[in-house]
Structure 1
Amino acid sequence: MTDAVLEKTQSTTLTASQVSEFLISNPNFFQEYEYLLADLILPHSSGNATSLVERQAKVLRERNSELRNRLGDVIATARDNDNLFKLTKKLGLSLLEAESLEDAARVLHHSLRNDFKVDCANIILFDQPQITSTSLITQLSSETAKNVLGKLVRFDRVTCSALRVNELQYLFPQYEKDEGSAAIIPLSHNQDLGLLVVGSFDPQHFSPDMETTFISYIGEVASRCISQHLINEQ
């Protein structure tokens, strides 16, 4: 083969990219050459061959299935959020009707355990010597809490994390567990009051990247309610 012929052959050889660009630029190509759809045979990883039409149908089925799954996830999330909103609203209204600090604590515990299905919960108030610790409320030193919990104690946002054994025992002394996780919700209104802690015996349940919109709101409502009752009961 002469150099001239070789050069001509190479110049007329189409690349895959050129074919792809041509088909994209000419969407009516297969309407004019419809017989190609059935005649083109595409290899399959299983060793069987399929026509272009069959391959396209398979791709479309897979895409439709993926879209249905995504839509199902969106609908499920919307339902979960709607349910959380209703439960949060119910808890907020019940807190507004609480007549005392003990009553508010009872409302919080009942809702968190029975409506939100948490494994354990605790209301911790800092530096309130007039408060006697009960099964509903724990009175602790803020300095000791910061020494034990370290960076888990924050008053600017909710902290979600797996817990060490000593942290579990400190936050939930009534439970003898070796592992777990918690959402540590600040109670703060005009001053730092303490913590509302909701826990799970699953160390992965309350993770640092979880959504905290609803539990943050619960903390804000509880903070105002508890603050008012502390003032009233002085």
Structure 2
Amino acid sequence: MVQDATATESPLEAAQIEEYLRNNPTFFLEREHLLTELYLPHASGEAVSLLERQVSLLRERNIDARKRLKEFLEQGERNDELFGNTRRVVTALLEARNLTDLVERLYASCQNEFGVEFQKFTLLSRDGHHRQTQVRCVNLSEAETAVPVLSRIQQCVAGIFREDELKLLFAGDHNGVGSALLLPVFVSGELVAVMAFGSSDVKYFNNESDTLFLDFIGDVLGRLLPRFV
């Protein structure tokens, strides 16, 4: 805390400070942090004005702190809701009896818990075939050619995709998709499937979308698929 200038400065130095402040009345406008460090006795005149400014500054900081706390609490509530939704999706997937059942449960639970408008699960294989004919399977090379981002995808990717990309991702059922999110599924580090989510809102899925819980669902799918594939 800064002490009274008269206790540590000579009269000449105090006079110089006083003269400087008189000649520079806006000195504290760009140095508001100093106001919280000054010792200002209850007085009249200029001292009262500085004290009021200090109180105003502290009030502004208090409002900002309350605003941030409110944002943290709201984010916590959203995370709790997402966690609950994700837990129900994972629980449903764990009860799957075969690959077809797994995909059907994935569709139903994502629809119920997240209210997605468009969704499509696609297996990716080297030869483009799989014994489970009920589940869509696409040649990996063809998929990477049609949707280049698949060749380097490591986690969820969201945004606006081209018409030909949407056609492959949603098996042609892509009319009305404005934005999309791709959830990759890896087994032993190899991309084996992709789950595409779509929205008619072009701004709904974007590079700022929070994908933490979806990435977790992707990890669970990566552990379950080897049981059925």
Amino acid paired to 2:194: L
2:38 aligned with 1:27: yes
2:165 aligned with 1:159: no
CA distance in structure 1 between the partners assigned to 2:169 and 2:160 by the alignment: 12
Per-residue deviation, 1:106: 1.2
Q: Which of 78, 89, 92 is the equivalent residue of 1:91?
A: 89
* Cα 1:154–1:110 shift into 2, 3 Å: farther
CA distance in structure 1 between the partners assigned to 2:96 and 2:18 by the alignment: 85
Equivalent residue, structure 1, for 2:166: 168
Which range moved further: 93-102 or 208-217? 208-217
1:63-212 alignment runs, 5 A limit = 63-126=61-124, 127-133=128-134, 137-172=135-170, 173-177=172-176, 180-190=178-188, 191-212=190-211
SS of 1:209's partner is coil
Per-residue deviation, 1:228: 1.1
Q: Where does the alignment leave 5 or more consecutive residues of structure 1 unmatched?
A: 1-8, 41-50
| 1:37-88 Cα distance to aligned partner (Å, 9 max, x none) | 6864xxxxxxxxxx963x5555444433332222111111111111111211
* Cα 1:228–1:18 shift into 2, 3 Å: same
Which range moved further: 186-195 or 72-81? 186-195
Equivalent residue, structure 2, for 1:44: none
CA distance in structure 1 between the partners assigned to 2:71 and 2:37 by the alignment: 37
Per-residue deviation, 1:118: 1.8
CA distance in structure 2 between the partners assigned to 1:213 and 1:193 by the alignment: 20
Q: TM-score, normalised by structure 2?
A: 0.75
Amino acid paired to 1:13: E
* Cα 1:198–1:14 shift into 2, 3 Å: same
| 1:160-207 Cα distance to aligned partner (Å, 9 max, x none) | 222122222221222312x52222121121343121122222222222
Q: Which of 20, 28, 43 is the equivalent residue of 1:14?
A: 20
Residue identity over aligned pairs, in percent, reads: 26
Amino acid paired to 1:186: P
* Cα 1:56–1:12 shift into 2, 3 Å: closer
SS of 1:13's partner is helix
- Confirm or deny: 8 A CA contact 1:153 1:184 kept in the other structure: no
CA distance in structure 2 between the partners assigned to 1:99 and 1:69 by the alignment: 48
CA distance in structure 1 between the partners assigned to 2:63 and 2:139 by the alignment: 56
SS of 1:124's partner is strand
CA RMSD, 1 decimal: 3.2
- Confirm or deny: 8 A CA contact 1:193 1:227 kept in the other structure: no
CA distance in structure 2 between the partners assigned to 1:171 and 1:99 by the alignment: 25
Q: How many residues matched?
A: 204
Per-residue deviation, 1:155: 4.7
Q: Where does the alignment leave 5 or more consecutive residues of structure 2 unmatched?
A: 1-14
Amino acid paired to 2:44: Y
Amino acid paired to 1:75: L
| 1:7-36 Cα distance to aligned partner (Å, 9 max, x none) | xx9997314499759x759733333xx122
1:28-67 alignment runs, 5 A limit = 28-31=39-42, 34-36=43-45, 40=49, 53=52, 58-67=56-65
